[in-house]
Amino acid sequence: MAATQTTPGTDSIRVPQAAGAVLRPEDSRVIWLLLGAAFVAILNETTMGVAIPHLITDLDITALAAQWLTTAFMLTMAVIIPISGFLLRRFTTRTMFIAAMGLFSVGTLIAFLSPGFPLLLAARVVQASGTAIMMPLLMTTIMTLVPAAIRGRMMGRVSIVISLAPAIGPTLAGALLDTVGWRWIFGIVLPIALVSLAIGARWIHNVGETTHAPIDIPSVILSAFGFGGLVYGLSQLGAGGHGSGADAAAADALSTTSLVVSLTIGIVSLGLFAWRQILLQRDDDALLDLRVFRSANFSLSIGQMAIMSMAFFGAITVLPLYLQRVVEVSPLDTGLIVLPGALAMGFAGPLIGRIYDRWGTQVLLVPGAVITSGMLWFYTTFTATTPVWIIVIAHTVLSIGLALSFTPLFTASLASLQPRFYSYGSAVVGTVQQVAGAAGIALMFGVMAAASGSALQSGADAISAEAAGTHAAFLIAAILSLPLLVGAFFIRKPADQPIGAPIGH
């Protein structure tokens, strides 16, 4: 049974000091309420991939502009999530939950009412601000409340809930797009978000200790310029003109300049951000405490996760465009095609969690890496005539490979840290995943646009040009996946220790 401790200046904050292999009912309730909120956020996010082809037509925008509805969401999360590590220590669990779901609900309402692309893009940023707080809050709470011996099982159960959203999202989006239009993607999510906000505000209790350190504004600014510069620079790949003449040459020159300037600003800003955190963490005032990287196991896990996220998120965002523009299936059929994979990932979660608790990481990570890389290479064989049933099987197998990888990576990375670093570790995990995913999406959309434009210049028809573009994007994803085959052998499961015991460095 966990003891309790009250921190001055807060109300009913319970700090677990020790625990066996059983989760208290009230702690379980908190976790499931947070999972419900995470489900809503992920449901919203997974509808956008299917909606992008419709939005390109309905809003009269280019594919490179439309991808910012996804990239801006992920980029905003990448900017906010580093701050969340600090916020989770500064404010109570209940306060952070209300802030997260409040922002998400407001953003969803704005999106539902948006008359065009600019306001819709702004709404996505507001939504992402709430989601960015919710995901680290969920992971930190799990690591704080769940005994080490059953963390794999809990992560497995988490995967059921989190995978249901990707299973339902694309199919729901397809049905809405074919009937009432894209606005109702947000109209359906809004009441669910409001109900989740009301229930959570009533029942969530506070977990962990709070601090009163001031937020470091220069760190926030450097973080925004660093991650923003990197992702925007990558988005300029293939953004130049693909026609002929002076206009195309000028567009190409502008795109190249934007790419170089943005990447330079991003790299320099991230370097300054890291330097400032190293200085601030001496007094425990860092916005994002980088001492988490002293754990080699955490660092290796984060590297593996970054590569996997970049390859997967990029490929999975290109897939709906391939299905609708090359194979020429409807948005609803697109959702149904990815449904089995999402369900397989979710229902495999509990078994994967139990395997992790009993046998550790390598029995999962090695086959997971082989399956993930193998399927991404198989994606490069997709053409306009590839049977749909083959695509369904390939995507389902890829999802199983990802399930074998993500659950042990999440659990092993955070379990490698001391409990006082859980919030920072969760922030790093979320930041790396979102930045890598946003970079993967930007990179693959840029490569896809460049390859499609080149094919059109060579005289290919529209479908053949789109096929060439998606092939190039899938090839990039497959190449990116190769380091996973090596990294899987080096990540270990930290020894089980009770809550409150020092873990890692």
> What are the tens digits of pLDDT across the range 348-381?
878 888 888 888 888 999 999 999 999 999 999 9
In a domain, 492, yes or no: no
| Angle at CA of residue 431, ends 334 and 193, nearest 5° | 55
Of the listed ranges 11-20, 245-254, 262-271, 342-351, the least confidently predicted one is: 11-20
In a domain, 245, yes or no: no
Report pLDDT digits (tens) over 296-321. 999 999 999 999 888 888 888 788 88
Is 108's pLDDT higher than 90? yes
What pTM did the predictor assign?
Answer: 0.76
Domain count, the chain: 1
Which domain range does residue 432 map to?
Answer: 20-215+287-487
In a domain, 225, yes or no: no
In a domain, 52, yes or no: yes
In a domain, 149, yes or no: yes
Question: What value does the mean pLDDT of the chain take?
Answer: 80
Mean pLDDT across the stretch 460-479? 89
Q: Report the candidate in 187, 269, 179, 183 with the shortest Cα–Cα distance to residue 227.
A: 269
Of the listed ranges 14-23, 26-35, 94-103, 378-387, the least confidently predicted one is: 14-23
**Contact, 417 vs 504, CB < 8 A?**
yes
The C-alpha atoms of residue 225 and residue 229 are separated, in whole angstroms, by 6
Instruction: Report how far apart the first and last C-alpha atoms of the chain are (Å, whole number).
Output: 26
pLDDT score for 15:
43
For residue 349 the two structure tokens come to 């979660």
pLDDT score for 248:
53
In a domain, 445, yes or no: yes
In a domain, 333, yes or no: yes
Residue partners of 151: CB distance under 8 A and separation at least 6? 142, 143, 357, 411, 415
**For position 177, which CATH number holds?**
1.20.1250.20
In a domain, 120, yes or no: yes
Residue partners of 191: CB distance under 8 A and separation at least 6? none
The C-alpha atoms of residue 31 and residue 33 are separated, in whole angstroms, by 5
pLDDT score for 209:
67
Neighbour tally for 87: CB within 10 Å:
22
pLDDT score for 235:
64
Report pLDDT digits (tens) over 6-26. 333 334 444 444 445 667 777
Is 500's pLDDT higher than 50? no
pLDDT score for 60:
80
